[in-house]
Amino acid sequence: MAISSPYDDNTYSNAGAVYIYRDNVTGAAMKQKITSPQAVANGNFGYKVLMSGYDLFIYARGEGGWTLNGMVYHYVYQPIPGIYTYQQTIGNPEPGSFRYFGNTLAAEGDYLMIGTSQSSVDDYDGAVLFYERLPSNNQFNYMQKITVPYVSDNDNFGTGIAVDSDRMVVSAPGHDAKGLNAGALFVFERDGSSWNQTKTLSVADLIPGTFLGTSLSTYSFWSNSIIVGSRSYNQSTGTVHLLKVK
């Protein structure tokens, strides 16, 4: 179990840390404390954490050389001696201020998806960056920037990502095709080492201000369905939708 503490004052104020716990006979015990290899004040290492198999990905919101550009660190679990070891630093290929590179993380086997709130063109349009693991060194290599041609400012494409080896669903809760901030979901399928959009998902009674796709569950590929949260659906009470992808 990984517990993040992004405002931990380790070395620097709000540098952040991640604590690894394991079960024992008396309950959970701390096994390891992980801090950033490039710790800085207000780096917020551990702002988000993703565990996937033996891989651990840690988002440092305030690192990356620009204001809130972001940085992602990759660690790999070593059964002996039972700790995570640093593997790789993954930087934003299009750095800049307020990019929030790593604000969404999703992984499946040798595939890693990293969401960024801004591309190099528009404000909070969003993008998903696809990385694939190289067998030669166990590191993830940048392969593709994933967007859709009709995403614009404040659509926040990449807020939610659910992926398996061949299919991916990405949410854009600020998408305006069915009204301001109605939201939308985009389905992609993998062709070799690239992803192509195949369809768009929505709900029949979608209205402006719904923010469809505020959250996504892990995609249930065996039933071709996904659970989708909408922040302001049903008179702002919010709701959860079960949508068929095929």
Q: How far is residue 166's CA from residue 38's CA, in Å, rounded to a whole number?
A: 34
pLDDT, mean of residues 181-204: 90
Contacts of 53 (CB under 8 A, 6+ apart): 109
What is the DSSP code string of 118-152?
A: --SSSSS--EEEEEEEETTTTEEEEEEEE--TT--
pLDDT higher than 90, residue 193: no
- Across the strands, what pairs with 4? 18
pLDDT at position 11 over 90 = no
- Per-residue pLDDT for 6 more than 90? yes
Q: How far apart are the first and last CA of the chain?
A: 34
pLDDT given for residue 44 in this prediction: 97
State residue 76's pLDDT score.
Answer: 96
How confident is the model over 87-142, as pLDDT tens digits? Answer: 999 999 988 888 999 999 999 999 999 999 876 555 778 899 999 999 889 999 99
Residue 220: which pLDDT band, with cuts at 50, 70 and 90? low
Q: What pLDDT was estimated at residue 233?
A: 66
Q: What is the pLDDT of residue 91?
A: 93
Q: How far is CA 26 from CA 22, 29, 32, 81, in A?
A: 11, 8, 17, 21
Q: What is the pLDDT of residues 72-100, one digit of tens each?
A: 999 999 998 999 999 999 999 988 888 99
- pLDDT at site 86: 97
pLDDT, average across residues 144-172: 87
* pLDDT computed for residue 63 by the predictor: 94
Task: Identify the top-confidence range among 33-42, 169-178, 234-243.
Answer: 33-42
For the chain, give the percent of residues with pLDDT over 90: 52
* pLDDT at residue 165 in the model: 74
Task: Report the distance separating Cα 113 and Cα 242, nearest Å.
Answer: 23
Q: Domain locations in the chain?
A: 1-96, 103-246
pLDDT at position 222 over 70: no
List, edge to edge, every strand of the sheet that includes 167-172.
160-163, 167-172, 184-191, 194-201
pLDDT of residue 203: 85
Q: Which residue has the tokens 């195949």?
A: 198
DSSP annotation string for 41-85: TT--EEEEEEEETTEEEEEETT-SSSTT--EEEEEEEETTTTEEE
Q: For residue range 54-74, what is the model confidence (pLDDT) as tens digits? A: 999 999 999 998 888 999 999
Token reading at 29: 């015990």
Task: With a cut of 80, say whether residue 234 has pLDDT above it.
Answer: no
